[in-house]
């Protein structure tokens, strides 16, 4: 799957992953759990809406996490995906419940807030999803992820509202949630691509590469589950091959096979069989 995904721009891959993840789990909720008669009070309606939002938010988090791990060479990621999946469900559920409660309360009180509560709640949810995905995207700063995710949630909410005016209920929910997922995925990819610290370009083969940001957290290359960039143990690679660090603008690499430490400059390369790791530093 890595070869297929890495042949396309990452922003496109993340946008489509968010769209499909949201749309799929929204569809699951529609088929198995949706009840148009659910709820008679502000609280029960809000809880039901929260469960729906939690479903497609979890779909966004899971899809983007899976894509990210695949691009970095991992072949098993189900166990590691539990945390972002749970965070995505919780954040989506809370924001959806809050939006519905505020919307219902404003409507019953005669307050003309329109769709503003929904937009605010989904901007916050998008920020939370960005924050959750910073657990999977190496050296994606949490604040940056939150801000870009918030922008994605805001844009997605506008798209959701627009669709609701022209489509039936089921179609509006399906398309609208997919739009939210698309914008959140796109925003996270943009947040990563516009980081200014420096990055590694992992070239797996012709036309097949992955970007890994450098930053406060060391980037591990090896065959262990803890490695950021996963090499195949079947090719004889040890658990940790190399560690890349960036501190105070100075990039270094520890080669664990030769037990040497190297100060890195822009354009340096590490060749591991067919895999080439290029160092890109911003002056």
Residue 137 CB neighbour total at 10 angstroms? 23
Share of the chain above pLDDT 70, in %: 92
Confidence of residue 37 (pLDDT cuts 50, 70, 90): low
Residue 148's closest CA among 196, 198, 183, 119?
Answer: 183
Question: Is pLDDT at 172 greater than 90 in this prediction?
Answer: no
pTM: 0.80
Share of the chain above pLDDT 90, in %: 8
Confidence of residue 55 (pLDDT cuts 50, 70, 90): confident
Q: What is the pLDDT of residues 113-153, one digit of tens each?
A: 677 877 887 787 778 778 777 777 777 788 888 888 888 88
Measured over the CA atoms of residue 220, residue 69, residue 7 and residue 280, the dihedral's sign is negative
Question: Is pLDDT at 20 greater than 90 in this prediction?
Answer: yes
142-164 and 169-193 helices, crossing angle to 10°: 150
Confidence of residue 242 (pLDDT cuts 50, 70, 90): very high
Residue 3's closest CA among 276, 230, 227, 205?
Answer: 205
65-90 burial by CB neighbour count: b if 16+ within 10 A, else e?
A: bbbbbbbbbbeebeebbeebbebbbb
21-44 burial by CB neighbour count: b if 16+ within 10 A, else e?
A: bbbbbbbebbeeebeeeebeeeee
Confidence of residue 277 (pLDDT cuts 50, 70, 90): very high
Output the pLDDT for position 244. Answer: 93
Question: Is pLDDT at 27 greater than 60 in this prediction?
Answer: yes
Question: Is pLDDT at 76 greater than 70 in this prediction?
Answer: no
Q: What are phi and psi of 198, to 5 degrees?
A: 135, 165
* Average pLDDT in the chain: 82
Q: Which domains does the chain show, CATH number per domain?
A: 2-193 (no CATH), 198-281 (2.60.200.20)
Between 171 and 206, the more confident residue is 206
Question: Is pLDDT at 39 greater than 60 in this prediction?
Answer: no
Question: Is pLDDT at 225 greater than 90 in this prediction?
Answer: no
Confidence of residue 36 (pLDDT cuts 50, 70, 90): low
- The answer for residues whose C-beta is within 8 angstroms of residue 162's C-beta and 6 or more apart is none
């Amino acid at each position: 799957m890595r070869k297929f995904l890495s042949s396309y721009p990452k922003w496109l891959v993340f946008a489509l992953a968010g769209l499909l993840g949201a749309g799929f789990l929204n569809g699951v909720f529609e088929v198995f759990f949706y009840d148009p008669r659910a709820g008679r009070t502000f609280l029960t309606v809000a809880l039901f809406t929260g469960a729906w939002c939690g479903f497609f938010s979890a779909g966004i988090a899971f899809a983007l996490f899976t894509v990210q791990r695949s691009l970095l060479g991992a072949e098993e990621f189900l166990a590691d995906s539990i945390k972002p999946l749970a965070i995505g469900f919780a954040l989506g559920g809370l924001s959806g419940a809050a939006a519905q409660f505020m919307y219902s309360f404003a409507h019953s009180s005669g307050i003309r807030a329109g769709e503003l509560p929904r937009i605010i709640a989904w901007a916050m949810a998008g920020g939370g999803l960005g924050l959750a995905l910073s657990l999977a995207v190496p050296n994606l700063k949490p604040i940056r992820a939150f801000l870009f995710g918030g922008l994605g949630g805001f844009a997605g909410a506008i798209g959701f509202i627009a669709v609701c005016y022209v489509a039936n209920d089921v179609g509006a929910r399906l398309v609208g949630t997919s739009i939210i997922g698309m914008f959140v995925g796109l925003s996270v990819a943009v947040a990563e691509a516009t980081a200014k610290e420096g990055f590694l370009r992992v070239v797996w083969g012709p036309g097949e590469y992955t970007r890994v940001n450098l930053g406060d957290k060391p980037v591990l290359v090896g065959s262990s589950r803890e490695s950021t960039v996963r090499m195949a143990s079947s090719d004889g690679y040890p658990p940790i091959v190399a560690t890349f660090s960036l501190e105070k603008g100075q990039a270094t690499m520890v080669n664990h096979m030769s037990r040497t430490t190297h100060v890195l400059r822009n354009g340096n390369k590490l060749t591991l069989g067919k895999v080439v790791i290029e160092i890109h530093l911003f002056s």
